[in-house]
Amino acid sequence: MAPAPTFEHVHRIDSTNAELMRRPFGVEPQPPRALLADLQTAGRGRNGRAWATDPSASLALSVALERRVGAPPLLGLPLAVGVAVAQVLAEHGAAVRLKWPNDLLVDAPAGRAKAGGILVEVRSAAPLQRVVIGVGLNLAPSPALAAVQAAQPVAALFGPGAAPPREALARALAAGLIAMVDAFERGGLAAFAARWAALDALAGAPVTLLRPDGTRTVGVAQGIDADGALQVALPCGGLERVVAGDVSVRAGHGIGIG
């Protein structure tokens, strides 16, 4: 059984991920640690994007786990994180879909919209390696969320007054993430592939691959491979393997959810 984490709840911090990443290493792996913040002043998402928090309507949680350098690689771990988070949210009454590689989407009046994101970071200091999993969620409607909605499709997981107590949800998420990593180390991404596929928001959808050089390719998303890369069927009949950081992915007719 995975060990229970130590749990900290702070009011204000720059970033929960950054705080757990910068803490000093010991000589042996430490028990899992979870850090919940009411307010982040420098929260980060994938590719360095900012992630704002609202003390009354959002959740910013990070979980740190340590292991030995040289342990089996965690290839595809962010996808398994998404599955674990989706499971905990379902248990609390919120249904989400997973948009490759690390976004949580909900159905909104104008279509699917982003309600949360995942950021996994790794730091090594031989003989130890620290894995920090950050989860940011829009729990409820708020003025801050409404301001963002004018620029991008975002939404809340719960309606007004319907969100569960934030600390209770954070503790459930932390426990679920620690159990997930334990299962991942034993079975890899294959242990989560079927559940990912059932939640895949891009499956069969038209996507546009936006490359750093500005070129674009249109295709159809065909799920993930054994390593967690997105597979895209191309008009020419080929299949392109897309890995995190290579391209941006936008679904539909130019409606960005990347």
| Final residue of a structural domain among 199, 215, 236 | 199
Can you give the pLDDT at residue 10?
95
Q: Look up the CATH number of the domain holding residue 107.
A: 3.30.930.10
Tell me the pLDDT tens digit for each residue of 176-200: 999 999 999 999 999 999 999 999 9
Beta strands in 95-215 (DSSP E): 97-99, 103-108, 111-125, 128-138, 206-210
Say if residue 53 is in the same domain as residue 174.
yes
258 located within any domain: no
> If you average pLDDT over residues 198-209, what whole number do you get?
92
- Is residue 181 a contact partner of residue 65, using CB atoms and an 8 Å limit? yes
Can you give the pLDDT at residue 145?
81
Instruction: Report the domain count for the chain.
Output: 2
In whole angstroms, what separates CA 240 from the centre of its chain?
Answer: 23
Would residue 67 be called left, alpha or beta, if left means φ above 0 and alpha means ψ between -120 and 50 degrees?
Answer: beta
Per the structure, the complete domain to which residue 188 belongs is given by 6-199
Say if residue 175 is in the same domain as residue 218.
no
Tell me the pLDDT tens digit for each residue of 158-173: 999 999 999 999 999 9
Whether pLDDT at 119 is above 60:
yes
Say if residue 192 is in the same domain as residue 210.
no
Tell me the pLDDT tens digit for each residue of 74-105: 999 999 999 999 999 999 999 999 999 989 99
Say if residue 55 is in the same domain as residue 19.
yes
